[in-house]
């Protein structure tokens, strides 16, 4: 009786070993500051006209527009504010408006009920406690309804040319991580990490530069690294 032949087994294919992509070493101290200043220099050259894109004529209009910009685009806010300020051009006028009237005008900005309460409360408090003028101090600003540290930094930097801090919005937070400036995710901690990296006189403009770059090139989902002026020095572009 012939012996049974054992079935042939297919030879095992050799699989190429995957090489893990290594993150660039994290910069610290003077090396991190030099890296940050180089990025700032390039962004300044790329966006020489970077500015606050919320249309405003005075500190009151900027404060209100910034409150409305939460979870909303600047472009949408700029579509709403002309009618808002036509009807209520001053804190005194806005303080006399009804909540329902304000809601109807700002509805398209989203979260309009909360925003209406905030800007109405802001106007009334400015009239009652500050003589109808937007205060110029951080402590007083953050006590106004709807105004936190980010909004206060926007108002101080753009309406009063005072560099008291750095505006950290979603773009600045995202780019700060991608550029390797900080691994923090809390806006206040991100601001604290950025402050020692840049000259104080450039803090307001720095935010504009990062926001413009975030909107035009370094998008959240599909950053265009191939056309970015920072591709050769950005740690995220190397991943």
Active site residues: 150, 169
CB within 8 A of 132, min separation 6: which ones?
90, 91, 92, 126
User: Which residues, including other chains, have CB under 8 Å from residue 32's CB and lie 6 or more apart?
Assistant: 180, 181, 197
Count of CA atoms in the C-beta half-sphere (13 A) of 57 = 6
Nearest partner of 185 among 174, 199, 195, judged by Cα? 174
Contacts of 155 (CB under 8 A, 6+ apart): 59, 62, 63, 66, 134, 141, 147
DSSP letter at 23 equals P
C-alpha span between 146 and 206 (Å, rounded): 24
């Amino acid at each position: 009786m012939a012996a049974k032949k054992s079935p042939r087994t297919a030879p095992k294919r050799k699989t190429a070993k995957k090489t893990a992509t290594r993150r660039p070493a994290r910069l610290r101290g003077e090396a991190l500051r030099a890296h940050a200043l180089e990025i700032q220099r390039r962004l300044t050259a790329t966006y020489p006209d970077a500015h606050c894109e919320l249309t405003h004529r005075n500190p009151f209009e900027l404060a209100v527009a910034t409150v409305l910009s939460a979870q909303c685009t600047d472009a949408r806010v700029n579509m709403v504010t002309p009618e808002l300020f036509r009807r209520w051009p001053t804190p005194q006028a806005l303080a006399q408006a009804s909540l329902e009237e304000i809601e109807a005008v700002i509805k398209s900005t989203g979260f309009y009920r909360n925003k209406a309460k905030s800007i109405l409360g802001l106007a009334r408090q400015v009239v009652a406690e500050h003589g109808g003028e937007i205060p110029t101090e951080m402590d007083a600003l953050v006590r106004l309804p709807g105004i936190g540290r980010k909004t206060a930094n926007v108002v101080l930097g753009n309406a009063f040319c005072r560099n008291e801090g750095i505006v950290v919005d979603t773009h600045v937070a995202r780019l700060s991580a991608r550029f390797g400036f900080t691994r923090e995710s809390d806006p206040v901690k991100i601001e604290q990490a950025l402050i020692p990296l840049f000259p104080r006189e450039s803090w307001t403009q720095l935010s504009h530069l990062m926001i413009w770059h975030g909107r035009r090139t370094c998008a959240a989902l599909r950053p265009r690294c191939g056309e970015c002026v920072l591709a050769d020095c950005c740690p995220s572009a190397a991943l």
